[in-house]
Amino acid sequence: MLNDEELLRYSRQILMPRFDIAGQETLKSARVLVLGAGGLGCPVALYLGAAGVGNLTLVDDDTVELANLQRQIGFDQGHLGESKAQSLAERVLRTNPLVSVTAVNERLEGDALARRVEEASLVVDCTDNFNTRFALNRACVAAKVPLVSGAAIRGEGQLSVYDSRREDSPCYHCLYPEQGNEDLTCSEAGVIAPLVGMIGAAQAMEAIKVISGVGEPLVGRLLILDAWQMQWREMKLARDPDCPVCSV
pLDDT of 127-142, one tens digit each?
Answer: 988 899 999 999 999 9
**φ, ψ for residue 69 (rounded to 5)?**
-70, -15
> How far apart, in Å, are the Cα atoms of 99 and each of 29, 45, 103, 141?
10, 11, 13, 27
- E strands, the chain, are 31-35, 55-59, 100-104, 122-125, 147-153, 156-162, 221-226, 231-236
Beta carbons of 247 and 159 less than 8 angstroms apart: no
**φ, ψ for residue 231 (rounded to 5)?**
-125, 130
pLDDT of 154-179, one tens digit each?
Answer: 999 999 999 999 999 999 999 988 76
Mean pLDDT of the chain: 95
pLDDT of 67-125, one tens digit each?
Answer: 999 999 999 999 999 999 999 999 999 999 999 999 999 999 999 999 999 999 999 99
Say what the pTM is. 0.95
